[in-house]
Amino acid sequence: MVSEDFFQKRHAYQSSNSVLSAERNPVNREPILELRDVWLRIPVLTMETRSLKKALIRSVTGGALRKVGSGAEIEALRGITCTIRHGERVALIGHNGAGKSTFLRLVSGIYQPTSGFFRAHCPVYPMIQKSFITSPDLSGMQAAKGHYLLMHGNLRGFDAFIDDVIEFSGLGDYIHLPMKGYSEGMGARLLFSMLTATQHDCLALDEGFGAGDARFFERAQRRMEDFIGSAGTLLLASHASELLRQFCTRGLVFHQGEIACDAPLEEALAFYNELFN
Amino acid sequence: MNSLTKLFGYAWSSRRAWWFTATARTRARFARTALGSFWLGFSNLLSIGALAVVYGTVFNVEDFNHYVVYLGTGLVIWNAIAAAVSSAPSLFEYNAGHLKNTNLNPVFYSLEEWAFQVQSFLQSFFLVLLVLSCFQINLFVNLIASGLLPLVNLVLFLYWIPLILCLLGVRYRDLFQLVPIVIQLVFLLSPILYDKKNLGNLAWTADFNPFYRVLSPLRHALLQGELKLGQSLLILIFNIFGICIALIVLERQRKHLPFLV
């Protein structure tokens, strides 16, 4: 799938990009995220994986396998170096398992680097959550309250928040019923409405994030656009070029845990298309 | 030290969230039951009643009223410790989805679990004390006069011992199987159904039994109205030390947790 001259191309792009970056990047803006030679090695601890073939693990993870003692570890991110500045809209591009989601998890603090320098100058909100923090035996109202307390530490402003969530999700009085009685679509609508009801300085978003049933989808798209638009800084992982063009100006192409290309979006997309199609 | 301060700061600033989600869990547990969380106390009272009749007869106790209170206070405290310890190894496994997809500090889950266990304990403890007051009227007076420090010690103990166990449990899966067995054995070795002197030559085992060392001062304060201050202060220092150690271990393990669950 990857052409043999991949590394030559990457070098050429990064060389030209360093000039482009210097010219186009808003260097006067403060950095939000700084990564220098960041590595993330994920230990493979189950007994079964000790007997798995290297190729099989590669096909599942996209990362590189390294033997450590009697076990193994996956190099999920390898030597990541980049700076993301305030207000930038960054697209994360790459095939499944290339490292996009791992990068999102790293910058948002879910994962911590194994080595290298990483600093986040503001909280990065990961929008990859697909379940509620509270039990499904509880009502949607209690789930919303738990979420709000987690976000704010108190209930000041909760009334406006819950009014917005109820109105947008269209749950109405169902908000007071146990969530285990909700359909899948109702649950997804509630979760989507809750997570998009608050603005964030820096948003790490995975396109896999669901938005409920088809009727809800169009309204959800508009709200998502507003939500993404209101974020100070955006990191968006997606396979959809149109979505990335709509929101992003810079592209990071991931391949086997490395940043293969860091360039303005169109150049990054061109690089990705040339490399993988 | 800096990371410990940050953890304490986070625990304090997020207190309303973890207390709320713990309360929500209790509500969910007793959803659609007629008696709700009163079941916590009632289940203890049923055990106390049954065990008091059986073992009161087996041991041929002279003062049944005293035995009921002795067994009842011991059992309700033991049940709290056993519940916290038993659920500990699977705590992070239970929260695996959140550990992998949200950037909540893992200490949140330990605090929520602790709050859940403390809420469950306090509800059953006060109901049991209320009923046992029929056998010994001064239990609440003794609690306020002498039992507060031992009670604080128990509540602190319910945080750090389960936290250590869940950090071990996430790495060593054998703990899931081992903990229930050990809990049973420690229960049989602990002077709860019987008096410490009945252990005879094995009485020393109670002194090295950490669960009993936390249980005993609280029960003694409730029954006798006497605070063993030196012993309780020593346990308090031990608890504070234990909490610090548990949090340091948690902070060191934190980067591995999403990959272990």
pLDDT tens-digit readout, A201-257: 888 888 765 554 556 666 777 777 777 777 778 898 888 888 888 888 999 999 989
d(CA A150, CA A132): 12
β-pairing, A233-237 with A202-206?
parallel
Confidence of residue A27 (pLDDT cuts 50, 70, 90): low
Strands A31-44 and A115-120: antiparallel
Q: How far is CA A156 from CA A4, A151, B140, in A?
A: 58, 11, 37
Chain A CB contacts of B100 below 8 Å: 105, 110
With vertex at residue A90, the alpha carbon angle to CA A84 and CA A92, rounded to the nearest 5 degrees, is: 115
Q: Above 50 in pLDDT, residue A59?
A: no
Q: Which amino acid is at A16?
A: S
Residue where the block lists tokens 């070795």: B189
CA of A111, closest CA in chain B: separation in Å?
6
**Centroid of chain to Cα B4:** 23
Radius of gyration of chain A measured on its C-alpha atoms: 20
CB atoms within 10 A of CB A37: 13
C-beta atoms of A135 and B20 within 8 A:
no
Per-residue pLDDT tens digits for B40-85:
888 899 999 999 999 999 988 889 999 999 999 999 999 999 999 9
Task: Pick B260's closest partner by Cβ from A45, A129, A133.
Answer: A45
Please name the residues between 141 and 180 in chain A that touch chain B, using a CB distance below 8 Å: 142, 145-146, 149-150, 153-155, 178
A135 closest CB neighbour out of B17, B24, B259: B24
Is A52's pLDDT higher than 60? Answer: no
**Measured between alpha carbons, how far is A39 from A42 in angstroms, rounded to an integer?**
10
Residue A111 forms contact with B (CB below 8 Å): yes
Q: Which residues does chain B have within 8 Å of residue A114's beta carbon, measured at their own beta carbons? A: 255
Domain chopping of chain B, boundaries: 2-260
Mean pLDDT of B154-180: 90
CB A128 within 8 A of CB A105: yes
Q: What is the mean pLDDT of residues A69-95?
A: 87
C-alpha dihedral (A179, A185, A186, A189), degrees to nearest 10: 120
pLDDT digits over B177-234, tens only? 889 999 999 999 899 999 888 888 888 888 899 999 999 999 999 999 999 999 999 9
What is the C-alpha radius of gyration for chain B, rounded to an integer number of angstroms? 19
- pLDDT tier at A163 (50, 70, 90 boundaries)? very high
Q: How confident is the model at residue B250 (pLDDT cuts 50, 70, 90)?
A: very high
Beta bridge partners of A66: A73
- Spatial distance between the Cα atoms of A159 and B35, rounded to a whole number of angstroms: 31
Residue A48 has pLDDT above 80, yes or no: no
Report, as an integer, the average pLDDT of A27-31.
74
Banded pLDDT at A7 (limits 50, 70, 90): very low
Residues of chain B with a CB closer than 8 angstroms to some CB in chain A = 13-14, 16-17, 20-21, 24-25, 27-29, 31, 97-104, 254-256, 258-260
Q: CB–CB of A248/A236 below 8 Å? A: yes
Rounded to the nearest integer, the mean pLDDT of chain B is 91
pLDDT at A70: 52
Q: What is the pLDDT of residues B3-31, one digit of tens each?
A: 889 899 999 999 999 999 899 888 877 77
ipTM above 0.85, yes or no: no
Q: Answer whether B31 sits within 8 Å of A111, measured CB to CB.
A: no
